[in-house]
Chain A
Amino acid sequence: MITAPESPAVIETNPFPHWFQREQAAALADYESTPAPTRRDEAWRFASLKALDLSAFVPAPEIASEGKLINASTGLGDFAARFVFGNNALVHHEAPALPEGVIVEPLDVAAYEHEALFRAYFMAQPVELGSHKYARLHKAMLTGGVLVHVPKNVEVALPIELFYWVEGENSSVFPHTLIVLGDNAKVTVIDHFKSADGARAFACGINDFHLGRGSQLTYAAVQDWSRDTLAFHLNSTLVGRDATATALLANFGGGYVRGESLSKLAHDGGRSVMLSMNLADGTREIDQHTLQDHAAKHASSDLLYQNVVDDAARTIFAGIIRVQEGESQTDAYQRVRNLLLTDDAIAVSMPGLEILNDDVRCTHGATSGGLDPDELFYMQARGISKKLAARLIVAGRFNSLVERIDNEALRDRLRAVIADRLGV
C-alpha cells in the first residue's frame, strides 16, 4: 500500500514547506478515517467498487527512461510553455513564449515562491461529487503538479502544454493542474495523461480552475493511461463574473476511470461549457459525475458528453444541474449521448435537475442506442466499409465537440489525437 508522510513528522525529502506537509498529514488521516464507498452511496450506485482496491499500488519510483518520455512529449507545434512530469517528478520544462507576469511553476516551487496564491487557491473548492476520500489521498501524496497564474488583463496567445507520465507496475501518480486567472486574463491549457508502458498504475489527479472576472479559460485533457490503470480525475471550475470556461475532457485509456467535474457559477454572468468524449472499449468503465452549480444570476452552463461504448465496456454518467434559490435568469443545458457498438456494451445515464427558482431555462436529455442503420447505409453506398463507417461516425461525434474549442492549434491537435486513436 501507498505510504505517505508519517504524520505528524515532517519529511526532508518532501519538497513542500512544512506548513503544507502538516496539512498533508491531516489529509492522510482524513483519507484513512473516511470509509470507502459502498453500494448505498448514491454517488457510487453503479460503479464497480472492486476496482477501487488500492492495496497493490506503491509510490512511483524514479523513472528509468527520462529521455524517451521527454521525446515522446510532443503535441503542439508552438506553445507558450511545456512541462513534463514523469512519475510525479518534473523531468523537463521550457517556456518559450510566456508573457511577462505569467507564472507557470511546479507546485512545490509555487508553494514557496507564490505562497499567497497557493494558499488561496490550492484545493480551495471541496470535492463533493463522491471522491472526497481520494481527493484527501491526492493532497497527502502530492509532489508534482503545476500552477498556472495569468495576471489581470494578460492574454497568453499560445497554449500551455502539460504532460503527466506514469511508468512501472503499480506506480501511483498524483497529477495536479492549478489554474488561476486574474480579471480579463485569457489562457489555453492542455493536459496529457499518459503511460510510458502498458503496466497497471494508479492515477489520482486533480484540476483546480479559478476564473477571475471576465477571464477566459480553454482547457483540454487527453487521458490515455494504460488499459488497466485505475484513474481518478477530479475537476473543479469556479467561474467568476462574466467569465467563460470551456473544458473538453477526452478519456481514451484507463481501466476504471472515475471523473468528477464541478462547475460552480458563483458570480453573475458566468458561463461554463463542459464537454467530454469518452471511448470505452475492452472492459473499461468510465464513471463520470458532473454538477452544474448555479449560485448566481444570468449564468449559463452547457454540458455535452459523448460516450462511445464498445466491446464489454461500460459508461456511467450522473449529472446534476442545480439552480439555487433566487438565482434567476439561469440558462442550463445538459446532454449525454451514448453510442453502443456491441451487444455487451452498457451505458447508464442519470441526468438530474434540482431547480429552486422559476426564472430558468433548463433542459436535459439522454439518448442511448446503436449506430443509425440509415447513416451506415449512406456511407456504405459511397463505398466505405461498415467498419470504417462506424469509426468515422465515432470520430465525427468526437470532432463535433472539438469544433467548440476556441483555439485552432488546439483543435488541430485534438483532431489528430482522435484520428490517431480511431485509425481514421
Chain B
Amino acid sequence: MSAILEPTAKPQIDIDRSVGDFRYDVDYSYDAGVGLNEATIDYICDVKKDPAWIREFRKDAYRKFLEKPMPTHWASHDLDNIVFENIRYYLSQGTQASRTWDDVPEEMKRTFERLGIPEQERKYLAGVEAQFDSEAAYSNIKAAVGEQGVIFVGSTEGLQKHPEIFRKWFGKVIPTGDNKFSALNSAVFSGGSFIYVPPGVKVKHPLQAYFRINAQNFGQFERTLIIADEGAEVMYMEGCTAPKFETATLHSAVVELVALKGAKIQYVTVQNWSANVFNLVTKRGLAHEEAEIKWIDCNIGSRLTMKYPSVVMKGRKARGEVISIALANDGQHQDTGAKMIHAADETTSNVVSKSISIGSGQATYRGLVDIPPHHRGCRNNTECDALLINTHSRTDTYPTIITRGNRNACQHEASVSKVSAEQIFYMQQRGLNQGQAMSLAVNGFVNDLVREFPMEYSVELKRLIDLEMEGSVG
C-alpha cells in the first residue's frame, strides 16, 4: 500500500441528488390505498377503464406474482426487506395526460419545471412524456414528428387509442411470469410510454420520458412498449428522480422494445433515484432481421438496482448492444448487467460494462450470453471493468456464457483495479489536489462510455461525477 493513498485519506463520495430532493403535497383524485390484493387491481382497472382482456391479464399476473419466489437464491437478500403490503400501488390526479404544460396541475408543473424538463423539450427533444407517480401528467410530440405518423403517448392512451398495434406486441417480449417483478408490474402497471415509429421513419431527435416519484411509500410501475417498424430509427431517453424519503420506495418497470427488420432503437437511461428506492426493472428488446437494439444505461442512484437489459436477436444479422455505467456509493448495490440471446444466424452482440464502487458500495455485473443450438456466425464480445475506490468497496462479476456449436465465438474479459497511486501522484505533481485527481481518473475510466450517451446527458454525467469527487476531499 502506497503512502500516497492511505485508506483513510481516500475520498468519500456523496452523490449529488439535491436536484431531485424536494416534494410538493398533492391531492390525489385516485388512490388505490395501501397493500395489494384483487380489489386493488379492480380499482386500477376501473380508474383506467381497462378493457376486459387487460383486467384478466392483470389478474393472471397477480397470481403469478404470488406464486413466484423471491430470486434470493442468487440475488441480494435485501429484496426481503420489501414489504409489499405497505406499498401504495396507484396514485393519480386523472388518467389523461395534458398536451400543453399550461394544463398540467400546478404542483406537477412546478416539479417538472424545477427538474428542467420543459426547457430540455424546447432545446433538443422530439417529444416528452412526464410521469408523476402513476400517470403521465404531460405528453406531447413535436408536430413535425407526429405528422410522420410517429405515435408517442402514455401506455394508457396507447392501449385505448391504438389497440391494434398495442395488443400485438404487449407482453410478447417479456412474458408476465418472466420474474417476480415483471409479474408484479403486469398486475398493477400504469404509465410509461407507448411509441410506434412507422416504416422507414427516422426520428432525428430523441423522445424523452421523465419518471417522477412524489409520494412516500409508493410503488411506480410504468410499462413502456416501443415498436420501430421496418427500417425505422428512434432514440428514447428516460430520466428519473424521487425525493429522499425515510421509507423504502419501489420502482418496478417493464420495458419492451420491438425492432422490426432493419430498424434501430437506442434506449438511454440515466437512473438517479434517491437512495431509498428499490429499482427492479425488466428490460428486453426483440431484434428482427438486421435490426439493432442498443441499451445505453447509467445507474447512479437507488438503494438496490437489479436490471439486466436484454436483446433477443431473432432475425439473421440482428445486433444487440449494452453500454453500461454503474456507480455504487455507500449503502448502494448496483446489480446490473446484460443478456444477449442469439436466436438466429450471424447475430452479433457487444456488452461493455464499467462500474465504480465507492465506500461500502457494491457493484455487481451479471450477464448471460446464450447461443441456442445449431446457429452459425454468432459473435459476442463482453468487457467488464470494475474500479474500486476504497479498501472496503466491493465488486462482483457473474457472467454466464453458453456457446453451442463450433461456428460461433464468444469472448468475455473482465478486470478489477483501483485508481493507480502513481497516476494520482503524477496528477498531484502537476498541481491537482487529490480530489480533482481522483475525479479525473474516474472520469477517464468511464470516458469512452460516457461518449456513447447523447451530448446533453454526457455533459450531465461528467458534471455529476466531477461534483461528487471534488466535494469529497475536504
Contacts and interface: CB of A to CB of B under 8 A. Distances in A.
Q: Do chains A and B touch in the complex (CB under 8 A)?
A: yes
A367 B382 CA distance: 10
A354 B396 contact: yes
A346 B403 contact: yes
A365 B403 contact: no
B123 interface: no
A328 B405 contact: no
A160 B73 CA distance: 43
A70 to B, nearest CB: 41
B205 interface: no
Contact of A349 (B392, B399, B406): B399
Interface string A352-395: 11111111111111111111000000000000000000000000
A341 B397 CA distance: 28
Interface in B352-372: none
B417 A361 contact: yes
Contact of B406 (A326, A355, A365, A370): A370
Contacts of B388: 355, 357-358, 360
A341 B406 contact: yes
A370 B401 contact: no
Contacts of A100: none
B396 A368 contact: no
B432 to A, nearest CB: 21
Nearest to B364: A354
Contacts of A325: 392
B74 interface: yes
Contacts of B386: 353, 355
B405 A345 contact: yes
A42 interface: yes
B412 A365 contact: yes
A326 B393 CA distance: 10
A42 B73 contact: yes
Contacts of A74: none
Nearest to B362: A356
B410 interface: yes
A53 interface: no
A362 B418 contact: no
A18 B410 CA distance: 54
A151 B431 CA distance: 57
A362 B384 CA distance: 12
A12 interface: no
A210 to B, nearest CB: 29
Interface in B394-411: 394-411
B66 interface: no
Interface string A207-224: 000000000000000000
Contact of A370 (B1, B392, B402, B407): B407
Contacts of B274: none
Interface residues on A, range: 35 or more
Interface residues on B, range: 35 or more
B414 A367 contact: no
Which of A347, A358, A361 has the most C-beta atoms of chain B within 10 angstroms of its own C-beta?
A358
Contact of A365 (B395, B404, B414): B414
B403 A338 contact: yes
A353 B406 contact: no
A141 interface: no
Contacts of A23: none
Nearest to B365: A353
Which of B374, B398, B416, B417 has the most C-beta atoms of chain A within 10 angstroms of its own C-beta?
B416
Nearest to A323: B416
B429 interface: no
Contacts of A45: 400
B403 A362 contact: no
Given A340-B405, A358-B389, A364-B397, A351 B412 contact: yes
Interface in B283-331: none
Contacts of B391: 326, 328, 357-359
Contacts of A40: 73
A351 B400 CA distance: 7
B413 interface: yes
Contacts of B393: 358
B405 A342 contact: yes
B415 A370 contact: no
A328 B373 CA distance: 43
Interface in B65-119: 73-74
Interface string A307-331: 0000000000000000001101100
B409 A370 contact: yes
B399 A368 contact: no
A348 interface: yes
B37 to A, nearest CB: 28
Given A364-B413, A368-B409, 17 more contacts: A338-B403, A340-B403, A344-B373, A347-B403, A349-B399, A353-B397, A355-B386, A357-B391, A359-B391, A360-B388, A361-B417, A362-B417, A363-B415, A363-B416, A367-B412, A370-B406, A371-B406
9 contacts: A348-B401, A350-B400, A356-B394, A358-B389, A360-B417, A363-B416, A364-B412, A365-B414, A368-B410
Interface of B: 1, 73-74, 373-374, 386, 388-418
Question: Which 4 interchain pairs have the tightest Cβ spacing?
Answer: A370-B406, A358-B388, A369-B409, A368-B403
